[in-house]
Structures are given as C-alpha cells and as structure tokens.
C-alpha cells in the first residue's frame, strides 16, 4: 500500500510529500523499516527501494514463487524529498543536513517535521535498514555500519550478504541522526552504504538487492516455502583497524587502485598532480595492507583531505557463526 504520510503545503509550488509503502502479512510478528533518501543525492538507496517495492508488490499478488508476506514491511524511499527534487545533498532553503534533524519536531520547520514523521512511523519496528551512498566526493564499496552489535544485530547484518561492517564514529552530532534514534529505541538496525552521490549504479544495486530480500526472510517479515534465509560471512572492522590516507598537497587526485580491492603495504594508491602543470606533487603509498572501502571520487582535492579508507585485517576476521 502506498500512502502519503506527510504533506506540507508549499508557498507557490506543489506540496512537499513524504511517501510510505507498507505490506502486512496475515499474522505479523515483526516489523522492518527501510529508509533512504535522507540526503537528496543518494540515488542508489532510492533505486533499491523502488526495486524492493516492485518485488514486494509482486509477492503480494502471488507472482513470486515461494514467497509470501509474514510481518510488516515499511519502506520510506524519499525522505528528503525537497532536496531530491532540487537534485542536491541538502535542501537549500534551510541548508540543514537532514541527518542532523532527528528526532525532529512536528511543529517545527519542514526538515524537522519530516524527521518527526519518520521517527513516528518507524518507532514500532524490530528491524531497520538505512540505505545511503558515500559522503560527498567519495565512493563507498558496499559495507554496513553498525554500533555495538549484539548477537541479533550481527545475525541481521550477516543476512544482508555484505562482506564488511564498520563501527560508526560517535561524534557530537551522532545523536541527531536517524540511526542513533533507532539504536536508542532498541531497533536492531544497520546503515548500508554503497556507491557515490549523484550517481545511480544499477549493476551495484542489483548485486545488493538479493541480500536485502534475504534479510526480509531472515527477519521473518517475508516467508519463503522453498528456501531458508542464508547467513553470510561478514568481516567486522574496528575503528582502530581503519587507515585513513590523507593528501599532503592540493591538486588533482589520480587513483591507481580499484575500490573494493585489497591493497598491500607500500602499494601506490595514486598521485596528486598540479592542476596547471600536471607535475606530480605527491605520490601516495599505502602505509598498511587492507581492503579499500572508500575512495575519493572527486579528483579535485584540498590538502589534508581523506583520499581513501582502508580496512585493516581484524584479529578475528569473521563474526562467529552460531
């Protein structure tokens, strides 16, 4: 079912609307909420939601052999609809990062009203997934972010068929993001980050989609008569094992490594060249081995910026399979 859960009049144009899709099984026990589009230019998450909507509508009409609805599935694909329509990361009318607006305020400004509506609509969920792309100017290899996961959260994460999980950094603004609101409410939840802003990577999304469907089966909101959910292997990376590669000069960053690859100690990650003369200003070598989870996407770099993030080898490489 598609419904408009918030409609805010606009001074001159069409109203700002927040849309939610909901499916309900016969005797629902669990509820899962999937949210994307918190940043207006994170398109992969919005596309993945649209693929899930198509799939679940198909399940509902009996066209997906073996699958049936068990619990409640809520999908809110276009959270920051004003920014999405503007084609920007943030809605320029307020210049406010939507992910710093939670838990929101029903009586407040537009981003606060949206945030409050999202919190209200998702608060009764047992599970939650936030879909996002890499930060501005960066591309992420698919990975999860989850904070202090207990056994349930680890198993939920493993159902998503993503190979790496990281700990989110607890900053002073962390309290204002949706994920923290969910953690506070004991919703077993993860952030799934993949790709880069302003870009729709359909092949990447198609590789992520089966894992998302598997997680719905694992969390018992979706049933399947023919197969059980799969528990995949997942590397859990601690912050202390992450290596941030920093630029020491401003210029064009020309990477020589591929996102999602293993980089060895001493391997060349790229060069920074002068934007006028093309002379090499810095040759960047990796100081340790690791998996390249994030790579600078915008070639224009300032000095002191992050060029790449490597996930080092963890002491215990896999979460134990129970």
Partner 1 sequence: MQSQTISSYQTPSGQRVEILKQSFPSLRKRPVKRIAFVSGLHGNELEGVYICHLLTKHLSELQRTQPEAFQGEVHIYPTVNPQATAIGTRLWPFLSIDYNRQFGESDGHSLASKCAQELMHDLKSSADIVIDFHASNLHLKETPQIRITEGFHKKLIPFGVHCNIDLIWVHPPFPMFKSTLGYNMNQSKIPTLVIETGIALRINQNFSNRILLGMLNLLYQVGVIVTNNPPAPVNHPIIVQPSQVIQVHSKHAGLFIGHTDIKKNIAKGEVIGEVVDAKNGLTLQEVAAAEGGFLFTVREHPLVYPGALLGRIAKDIIT
Q: Report the residue from 48, 55, 97, 155 that binds partner 1 according to the rule CB under 8 A.
A: 97
* Residues facing 300 on adjacent strands: 252
Q: How far is the CB of 304 from partner 1 (least distance, A)?
A: 5
- String marking each residue 101-140 x if it binds partner 1 according to CB under 8 A: ------xxxx-xx----------------------xx---
In whole angstroms, give the CA distance from residue 3 to residue 211.
26
Q: How far is the CB of 224 from partner 1 (least distance, A)?
A: 39
In whole angstroms, give the CA distance from residue 10 to residue 308.
41
Q: How far is the CB of 100 from partner 1 (least distance, A)?
A: 7
Return the C-alpha torsion angle 125, 127, 131, 134, nearest 10: 120
Q: How far is the CB of 115 from partner 1 (least distance, A)?
A: 12
Specify whether the CB–CB gap between 160 and 221 falls below 8 A: no
- String marking each residue 291-310 x if it binds partner 1 according to CB under 8 A: ---------xxxxxxx----
Q: Report the residue from 70, 89, 166, 235 that binds partner 1 according to the rule CB under 8 A.
A: 89
Q: How far is the CB of 97 from partner 1 (least distance, A)?
A: 7
Which helix (H) or strand (E) covers residue 139, if one does?
A: strand 138-145
Q: Which is nearer to partner 1, 160 or 177 (CB)?
A: 177
Cα–Cα distances (Å) from 39 to 16, 147, 191, 212, 272, in that order, read 15, 21, 13, 20, 29
Q: Which is nearer to partner 1, 7 or 58 (CB)?
A: 7
Q: Looking only at residues 136 through 195 of this chain, which bind partner 1 when binding is defined by CB under 8 A? A: 136-137, 169-173, 175-176
Q: What angle do CA 215, 181, 96 make, to 5 degrees?
A: 110
Query: Which residue stretch of 3-11, 25-33, 42-50, 310-318 sits at the interface with partner 1 (rule: CB under 8 A)?
Result: 3-11
Q: Report the residue from 100, 119, 120, 231 that binds partner 1 according to the rule CB under 8 A.
A: 100
Q: Looking only at residues 221 through 280 of this chain, which bind partner 1 when binding is defined by CB under 8 A? A: 244, 249-252, 274-276
Q: Are strands 242-246 and 306-311 parallel, antiparallel or unpaired?
A: antiparallel
Size of the site for partner 1 (CB under 8 A): 42
Cα–Cα distances (Å) from 284 to 138, 258, 259, 280, 304, in that order, read 17, 14, 15, 11, 13
Q: Which is nearer to partner 1, 171 or 264 (CB)?
A: 171
Of the candidates 25, 134, 43, the residue with the CA atom closest to the CA atom of residue 83:
43
Q: How far is the CB of 232 from partner 1 (least distance, A)?
A: 28
Q: Which is nearer to partner 1, 107 or 226 (CB)?
A: 107
Q: How far is the CB of 89 from partner 1 (least distance, A)?
A: 6
Sign of the Cα torsion 242, 172, 187, 66 reads negative
Q: Which is nearer to partner 1, 23 or 91 (CB)?
A: 91
Of the candidates 243, 283, 248, the residue with the CA atom closest to the CA atom of residue 262:
243
In whole angstroms, give the CA distance from residue 235 to residue 220.
24
DSSP code at position 147: S
Could you list the residues that contact partner 1 (CB under 8 A)?
8-12, 16, 89-90, 93, 95, 97, 100, 107-110, 112-113, 136-137, 169-173, 175-176, 244, 249-252, 274-276, 300-306
């Amino acid at each position: 079912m598609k419904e408009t859960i918030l409609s805010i009049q606009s001074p001159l144009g069409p109203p700002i609307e927040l849309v939610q899709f909901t499916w309900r099984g016969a005797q629902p026990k669990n509820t899962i909420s999937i949210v994307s589009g918190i940043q207006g230019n994170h398109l992969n998450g919005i596309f993945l939601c649209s693929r899930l909507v198509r799939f679940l509508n198909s399940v509902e009409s009996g066209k997906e052999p073996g699958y049936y609805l068990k619990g409640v599935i809520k999908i809110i694909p276009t959270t920051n609809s004003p920014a999405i329509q503007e084609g920007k990361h943030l809605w320029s009318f307020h210049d406010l990062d939507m992910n710093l607006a939670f838990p929101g305020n029903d009586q407040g400004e537009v981003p606060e009203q949206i945030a409050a509506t999202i919190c209200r609509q998702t608060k009764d969920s047992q599970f939650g997934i936030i879909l996002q792309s890499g930060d501005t100017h960066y591309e992420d290899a698919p990975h999860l972010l989850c904070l202090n996961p207990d056994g349930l959260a680890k198993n939920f994460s493993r159902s998503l068929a993503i190979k790496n999980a990281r700990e989110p950094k607890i900053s002073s603004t962390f309290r204002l993001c949706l994920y923290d609101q969910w953690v506070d409410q004991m919703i077993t939840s993860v952030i799934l980050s993949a790709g880069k802003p302003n870009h729709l990577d359909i092949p990447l999304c198609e590789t992520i989609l089966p894992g998302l469907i598997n997680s719905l089966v694992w969390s018992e909101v979706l049933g399947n008569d023919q197969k059980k959910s799969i528990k995949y292997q997942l590397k859990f990376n601690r912050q202390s094992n992450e290596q941030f590669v920093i630029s020491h000069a401003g210029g064009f960053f020309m990477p020589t490594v591929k996102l999602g690859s293993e980089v060895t100690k001493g391997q060349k990650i790229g060069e920074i060249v002068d934007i006028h003369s093309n002379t090499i200003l810095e040759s960047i070598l990796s100081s340790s081995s690791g998996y390249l989870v994030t790579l600078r996407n915008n070639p224009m770099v300032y000095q002191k910026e992050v060029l790449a993030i490597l996930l080092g080898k963890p002491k215990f490489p896999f979460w134990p399979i129970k």
